[in-house]
Amino acid sequence: KQEVTQIPAALSVPEGENLVLNCSFTDSAIYNLQWFRQDPGKGLTSLLLIQSSQREQTSGRLNASLDKSSGRSTLYIAASQPGDSATYLCAVKRVTGGGNKLTFGTGTQLKVEL
């Protein structure tokens, strides 16, 4: 059974700091990995999708890397802003045996302070 862990569970940083969020998964037979953000009381917003054949994806100040063999992904946020405050979730899709569902981590709650 695929298990996804995110560390840390919560993080508070001053504005402008660069930061890294971590995601690990137990079964490396994944199809892809997706990072989301969730604002309080809202749905999930897709940030980046990395296919299993890719090593990283970038969008603006965000960079996500994937090391499938070690079962790890990181989300790097450059020059953090208060508007980045949210819960960040990673999710993996297995190749087989898991249908087409994503398995989610429990998230990292990020607070960027002025």
- For binding to another protein (CB under 8 A), which residues are involved? 31-32, 34, 36, 42-46, 49, 51, 89, 91, 93, 99-107
Residues 6 or more apart from 99 whose CB is under 8 A from it?
Answer: none
Kindly state the helix (H) or strand (E) to which residue 92 belongs, with its residue range: strand 86-94
Least Å from the CB of residue 101 to another protein: 4
Residues 6 or more apart from 70 whose CB is under 8 A from it?
Answer: 28
Least Å from the CB of residue 21 to another protein: 15
Nearer to another protein, 22 or 32 (CB): 32
Nearer to another protein, 14 or 100 (CB): 100
Least Å from the CB of residue 81 to another protein: 23
CA 79 remoteness from chain centre: 17
Question: Do the beta carbons of residue 38 and residue 107 sit within 8 Å?
Answer: yes
Count CB neighbours of 92 within 10 A: 29
Nearer to another protein, 14 or 97 (CB): 97
Least Å from the CB of residue 99 to another protein: 3
